[in-house]
Amino acid sequence: MFDALATALTQAYRQFTDAPLTIRPFGEGLIHETLLVSQLDKKWILQGFNDSVFRFPERIDHNLGLLSKHAAIHPLPFQLPLPLLNTNGSGLTAIQGKNYRLFDFVDGSTLQQVQHPAQARMAAQAYGKFASWSQQLSAEGFEETIPNFHRLDLRFARLQEVANQLPNIPEEEQALLQGYLEQLPLVNWYQEQRTHLPLRVTHSDTKINNLIFSKALSQVEAVVDLDTVMGGYLMYDFGDLVRTVACSLPETATDWEQVQALPELFEELLAGYLEGLNGANTPLEAKSLLLGGEIMTLIMGLRFLTDHFEGNVYYRVSYPLQNLHRAKNQLALLQSQHGHRDRFANYAASLQKG
Ligand code: GN1
Ligand code: MG
C-alpha cells in the first residue's frame, strides 16, 4: 500500500539504506497523517503534512528555527523533535503531490488518558518547564502558524455565523448550539483577560498525547507537535492539559452522562504546572489558569460543532456525526468544570499559602 512512498523516501533521505521499509499508520492525530516507518531495527515518524490547515509552512520553519537555536544554548530536560532534512536540505519532501516530514522516532509511551495522578503532575511539570524556558524568547519574534488559532471570541462568532446560514437545524443540535451560545460570559471574561495578560511563547496543543513518556512512564522524554508553537497565553497551555487530563473520559467518548471533570487531577496539574513554571508567571497569569480548562474546552467544542455544521471539512472523523458527538462531550466537560470553580480556587489559594 505504501510501496511508492517507501521508494521515494529511500531516495529523498540519507537516513535510509537499501533494506526494505515498512510503513504503517500510527497515533491519534486529527490533522496531519502520521505513519511509522521502520527499517531493520530503526524507526522514524513520517507525517503527511496537512497544508490546508497549515497554510504557512515557512512560518513553522521560522518558529522551529528559533526553538532549536534556543535549545542549543539552554538545553531542556526533554527532546523537542524537529523535522529531519532531506538531501535538498529541506524539512518538507513532496511525494506524489503530498508534502511529508520525517522525524526521529522517540522511543517511549504515549497516553490518551493518565492512569495515575503522578503522571498528571509530570505532564504538567513538563509543559510548565517548556513555558518558563520559552519565556526567555520574545513572543513577537514568532509567527502565527494558524492565524487567530485560539481566539475564543472569533471561534464563538464563527459558530454563530455558520449556524445562522443553515436553513434548519435538528432539535437536538439546536439544544447543543444553545448550550454553547450560553457560554458568552466566558467569552467576555476571556476578552477582558486579553487586555491584561502578557503574550508568551506557548505550545498551543498541549494535549496529553503530545508528550512522549519513558517506557516505564517515569519521566517525559519529548514534547512533540510543535507546529502551533507561537504567541499565546499560559492559560491556553494549562487549559488544554486540563481538558485532556482532568476528565473522566477522552474527547471521543459518547457516553456523555459519564463525562466529567476530575478535580483531584486538576489539582495535580495546577501544582505541577506551577512547579514547572518556577515563578516565571505574573500573579494574574496564575489566576487565569483557573479558567484555562473551561476556555480550552469551550474553544474545542465550538470548533467541533462548527465543523459539524460545515460538513466535517477540518477534523478527521471516523463516522459522520463524530464532530457533533465531540461537541456534546466537550460541553458536558465544560459544565462539569464550571461546577468545580470554587474548589479549584480554594486549592489555588492553599498552594499560595504553601
Ligand atoms: C488537533 O492534530 P492534533 O490531534 O494534534 C487540533 C487541536 C485540537 C485537537 C483536538 C492544528 O490536534 O487544536 O485540540 O485536534 N490541531 C489543529 O483533539 O487544529
Ligand atoms: Mg497532536
| Contact 31 CB / ligand 1 (< 6 Å) | yes
Give yes or no: residues 186 and 272 share one domain: yes
CATH number at residue 345: 3.90.1200.10
DSSP 8-state code for residue 227? G
**109 domain residue, yes or no:** no
**pLDDT digit string, tens, across residues 286-329:** 999 999 999 999 999 999 999 999 999 999 999 999 999 999 99
CA of 233 to the centre of ligand 2 (A): 19
- For residue 160, the enclosing domain spans 117-353
- Check residue 45 and report its DSSP letter: E
User: Which has the closest alpha carbon to 186: 11, 337, 43?
Assistant: 337
Indicate whether 112 belongs to any domain. Answer: no
pLDDT value of position 353: 86
Residue 110 lies in a domain: no
On whether both 203 and 253 belong to a single domain, the answer is: yes
In a domain, 7, yes or no: yes
At residue 125, the 3 state secondary structure works out as: helix
Rg (CA), the chain: 20
**Any ligand 1 atom below 6 A from CB of 237:** no
276 falls within a domain: yes
Tens digits of residue pLDDT in 16-69 = 999 999 999 998 889 999 999 999 999 999 999 999 999 999 999 999 999 999
| Whether residues 225 and 274 fall in one domain | yes
What pLDDT, in 10s, does the model give residues 222-235? 999 999 999 999 99
Domain boundary among 60, 81, 104: 104
Asked whether the beta carbons of 51 and 57 are under 8 A apart, the reply is: yes
Between CA 152 and CA 334, with CA 351 as vertex, the angle to 5 degrees is 30
- Is residue 162 in contact with ligand 1, taking CB distance under 6 Å? no
Do 89 and 225 lie in one domain? The reply is no
Q: How many domains is the chain partitioned into structurally?
A: 2
Render 155-204 in DSSP notation, one character per residue.
HHHHHHHHHHH-S---HHHHHHHHHHHTTHHHHHHHHHHHTTSPPEEE-S
pLDDT > 90? residue 1: no
The beta strand positions in 96-149, using DSSP E, are 98-104
* Same-domain check for residues 8 and 35: yes
- pTM here? 0.96
Q: Do 126 and 94 belong to one domain?
A: no
**Same domain as 298, residue 211:** yes
pLDDT band at 354 (very low <50, low <70, confident <90, very high): confident
C-alpha cell at 42: 530503526
Half-sphere exposure of 210 (CA within 13 A, CB side): 23
Same domain assignment for residues 68 and 159: no
Tell me the best of 202, 205, 296 to mutate to test the pocket of ligand 1, counting ligand atoms within 8 Å of each CB and taking the most: 205
If we measure between CA atoms, which residue out of 129, 145, 136, 121 comes closest to residue 60?
145
Find the CATH number of the domain harbouring 36: 3.30.200.20
Residue 225, ligand 1, Cβ within 6 A: yes
